[in-house]
Amino acid sequence: PSVSISLMPWSSQPGPGRLLCSVMDFYPAEIQVRWFQGQQELSGHVVATDVVPNGNWTYQLLVLLQTTP
């Protein structure tokens, strides 16, 4: 599997940004992706796609966290 995290600006206005975690090419489909700040899990403002098949027996998932950078 491969994992990447990127910061995406919310808009051209200052304020919260979005951290995007892209998880690609994993198998089997069962997976958990969670955001933490220190020891505390961040569960509010988290949006995830469904696990999506790639067509080659692997899967992908995107998990977005709205946060202040």
Total structural domains in the chain? 1
Q: What is the CATH number of the domain that holds 37?
A: 2.60.40.10
**Per-residue tens of pLDDT for the chain, all 69 residues:** 899 999 887 666 666 678 999 999 999 999 999 999 899 999 888 999 999 999 999 999 999 998 765
pLDDT computed for residue 44 by the predictor: 86
pLDDT computed for residue 18 by the predictor: 87
As a 3-state breakdown, the chain gives helix, strand, coil percent values, each rounded to 5, of: 0, 55, 45
Tell me the residue range of the domain where 38 lies. Answer: 2-66
- Site of tokens 């491969």: 2
pLDDT computed for residue 34 by the predictor: 95
Residue 35, amino acid: W
20 in Cβ contact with 8 (< 8 Å): yes
To the question of pTM greater than 0.75 for the whole model, the response is yes
